[in-house]
Structures are given as structure tokens and as C-alpha cells.
Amino acid sequence: MREAFHDQLDGIFADLSDICGQVEIAVREATKALLSGDVHTADQVISNDRAIDAARERVDDTAFALLSLQQPVAGDLRMIVSALRMVSELERMGDLSVHVAKIARLRVPSVAVPDELRPTMEQMARTAEDMVRRVRDIIVDRDVEAAIELGRDDEVMDQLRRRSFTELLSTDWQHGVEAAVDIALLGRYYERIADHAVSVANRVVFVVTGDLPPRD
């Protein structure tokens, strides 16, 4: 019984890794739609989010079943509770990718990002996607050092967010209110994806050590 129980626990973390992979694709494809004005890709991101939602429900069902049937304690309980928090964060990252795709679709046949903001937005998107990829490895390897390092690297995204606001509020801005709102929202979406990635990584630290990383 205990061996089967721990197999189920390992299965939950395998599912979390798979969901993280789906989120990575969602971030990448949403960015592709955003920067190219590709309505088909945007629609695909929005449609595929149902698979992430369904995967989250499966993790929830398994975790709650283990809680009710096995009544875990100590480290096992910590794993299950953390998994519930992590899958919620991952689903939200998928939702944020959908928000990016919806902005892309809304501006078709135009592109939502003005040319001068494109380098900053591309870098924000790359940073977000890289953090999702890294957090997937952290989940698989239960790598505490990599998780802590990810939290420190989140400052890169914060700097990019500040840069986007600087460009947005420049006296040279000539793209109107609609584009300004788009850029402000997009910056927020990518920043939040990174924040959720850090939160998931922190939960891995908690699973392994019993403690959350200290806040800066």
C-alpha cells in the first residue's frame, strides 16, 4: 500500500512537469502570435488552454483522494499540499498566456507591439519562457539550488518591466492610448508568469527542505 501511495505521489509531480511543459509551449506560441499578428496561432493557444485546465483538475482529484484515503503526515502531506498550490500557479500561467494571445487576436491584422517596443517585449517573453522551462527542470529534479537561483534571477524581469514603463511614458510616445494599454497589460502578464514560476520553484524548496526560501 505504501509503495502504491508513493507511486501516486511521484505521478502527481510527473503531471506537474507535463503541465509545465504545456505552459512553456503556451508562452512561446502566444508570443509568436503577438509579434506576428498570427490569428491562427492565437486561437490555438486559447483553445489549448482547456487541456491545461483538465490536467489541473486531474492533479486536484488525485491529491484530494490521497488526502482523504491515506491521511498522510509530515513530508508526504507537505508534498500533496504543495502540489495543490503548484498546479494552481501553473494553471494561472497558462491563463496569462491566453491573455497575451487574446491581445494578439484583438489587434489583427495589425501587430499589438510597436516597433520600438519590440526588443523589450521580445526579451520579456524570452525571460518568461526560460523561467518556465527552468521550473520544469526544478520540478523533475527537486533541485533546491536551481529553485533559489530562479528566485534571484526574477530581478531581470522586474528590470524589463520598468524599462517598458519608461518607454511607454516617454514624451516620444506616438501610438495612442490603445497601444499604451496593450503594452502595460502585456508587461504585467509576462511579469506575472515569472512571479508564478518563482512561486512554484519556492514550493519545490518547501517540499525538499520543509522551509520556504527567505524573502529578499
Q: Which three cell numbers stand for residue 195?
A: 512571479
Confidence of residue 33 (pLDDT cuts 50, 70, 90): very high
pLDDT, one tens digit per residue, over 48-70 is 999 999 999 999 999 998 888 87
pLDDT at 172: 84
Confidence of residue 120 (pLDDT cuts 50, 70, 90): very high
pLDDT at 1: 55
- Checking if the pLDDT of 215 tops 70, the result is no
Cα–Cα–Cα angle for 57, 62, 68, rounded to 5 degrees? 125
pLDDT at 216: 55
Over residues 179-183, the mean pLDDT reads: 93
Neighbours of 44 (CB within 10 A): 18
- Checking if the pLDDT of 94 tops 90, the result is yes
**DSSP state for residue 110 in the 8-state scheme:** S
* Structural contact between residues 205 and 212, judged by C-beta atoms closer than 8 angstroms: yes
Confidence of residue 168 (pLDDT cuts 50, 70, 90): confident
Over residues 13-17, the mean pLDDT reads: 95
User: What is the reported pTM?
Assistant: 0.93
- Checking if the pLDDT of 159 tops 70, the result is yes
For residue 25, give the H/E element and its range.
Answer: helix 2-36
